[in-house]
Amino acid sequence: MAYKMLIINPGATSTKLAVYEDETKICQENIEHSLEEMAQFDTIPEQIPFRMEVIKKFLKDQKIKASEFSAVVGRGGLVPGLHTGGYRLNDDLFYALENDHISSPHASNLGGMLAKLFTDALEIPAFIYDAVTSGELLPVAKVTGFPKITRQSFCHVLNSRAMALKYAQEIQVPYEKLNLIVAHLGSGVSMSAQSGGQIIDSMGDDDGQFSPERAGSVPSLELIKLCYSGDYTRADMKKMVRGKGGMYAHLGTSDCRVIEKRIQEGDEYADLVFHAQAYQIAKGIGLMSIVHKGKTDAIILTGGVAKSKMLTDIVKEYVGHIAPVVVMPGENEMEALAMGGLRILKGEEEAHTYQLPTVQKREDYGGWNPKEWDKE
């Protein structure tokens, strides 16, 4: 039996959609949304009707009927405390995704919400897979110097686990038997230590190394001075940490291709900052290696920035003594979501069930019935 899946991956100003039949990608499109379009929405859930119309048009353009699907897989949102792998979309998880007092407001939360609303009338399952906040951190990894702050797993779980699984398949060793360090190099850089088929420690994009657009960790007292200097608002500081930090803050661009060209033309400061980023990425990998107590089987460099050979070569120089370094560039988010959903449908993995401690009622977003779309 072939399984056809709709994959939904919402971003702040885009909606990535794809259709897979088993391992084969039938079609994929990245629909860009203007800042003016998105400015009309004050909250993430308010975008639901707009995004559903985008999905409807995509399917119409591709001449694919909603009734053809076996399941829908959405990008996981920022719900804390999730395990790696898939979750079946139920009302409790929908409520957690839509409410800011449980999850952080983020466009990726829409992935699960849209998947659930799409499938309700079709009576097929909807899943999220490998949410950013999923992991199985060791108890010792959660403790910080602030009793009121507990470290939670936070990294690009989706692509990091997908590449770890792919690497295990390539070397024909069960994923659960490998100790891996995966560095996802994108606009933000995050790390994960994977062992026994789980993410047992991680380092988020604001928790360590700086990156093309993230400031990373900095001396705390100096950061406090900036916060209370009166020169910056809370919004300013958030942008300096995420969005306008890292290489962008130093060089006015986060594009590694542009920076590499400047280095080749003799820009010594660009060379220093670029090397410093690679140096900090290597330090992060070194910290993650402690988790495995010196028994790391491989280090995987992945993400869009891993396409920069200049960067990955510098990182290799620093960490090659820890374990073999494997470069697997690109994000592969849509494929990772599809393959995760397929493993669940085939019974190779079991989807988790999310449960709130008390019964909550979700908002009513209207009777979306994709069955009716097929008749139009």
The CATH number of whichever domain residue 254 belongs to comes to 3.30.420.40
344, part of any domain:
no
User: pLDDT tens digit string along 176-204?
Assistant: 999 999 999 998 999 999 999 999 999 99
User: pLDDT tens digit string along 228-260?
Assistant: 999 999 999 989 998 899 999 999 999 999 999
Residue 187 shares a structural domain with residue 320: yes
Residue 185 shares a structural domain with residue 262: yes
Residue 183 shares a structural domain with residue 107: no
Confidence (pTM): 0.88
Residue 176 shares a structural domain with residue 65: no
Mean per-residue pLDDT of the chain:
94
Residue 290 shares a structural domain with residue 176: yes
340, part of any domain:
no
Residue 165 shares a structural domain with residue 265: yes
Residue 282 shares a structural domain with residue 357: no
73, part of any domain:
yes
Number of domains present in the structure of the chain: 2
Residue 220 shares a structural domain with residue 256: yes
Alpha carbons 301 and 32: distance in angstroms, whole number: 28
User: pLDDT tens digit string along 287-340?
Assistant: 999 999 999 999 999 999 999 999 999 999 999 999 999 999 998 899 999 999
User: pLDDT tens digit string along 36-84?
Assistant: 899 899 999 999 999 999 999 999 999 999 999 999 999 999 999 899 9
φ, ψ of residue 303 to 5 degrees: the values are 95, 170
Residue 245 shares a structural domain with residue 361: no
Angle at which helices 48-62 and 109-120 cross, to 10°: 60
Residue 83's Cβ-side half-sphere holds a number of Cα atoms within 13 Å equal to 13
101, part of any domain:
yes
Instruction: Print the domain residue range for 357.
Output: 4-134+351-373
Q: Give pairs for 164-167: CB < 8 Å, separation 24+.
A: 164/194, 164/300, 166/328, 167/298, 167/300, 167/326, 167/328
144, part of any domain:
no
Q: To which residue do tokens 């906040």 refer?
A: 133
Q: To which residue do tokens 């309700």 refer?
A: 120
Residues 6+ away with beta carbon under 8 Å from 149:
none
Residue 182 shares a structural domain with residue 276: yes
35, part of any domain:
yes
Could you report how far apart the first and last alpha carbons of the chain are, in Å?
28
Residue 185 shares a structural domain with residue 116: no
Residue 111 shares a structural domain with residue 217: no
28, part of any domain:
yes
Distances (CA, A) of 161 to 118, 131, 179, 199, 300: 27, 11, 12, 9, 10
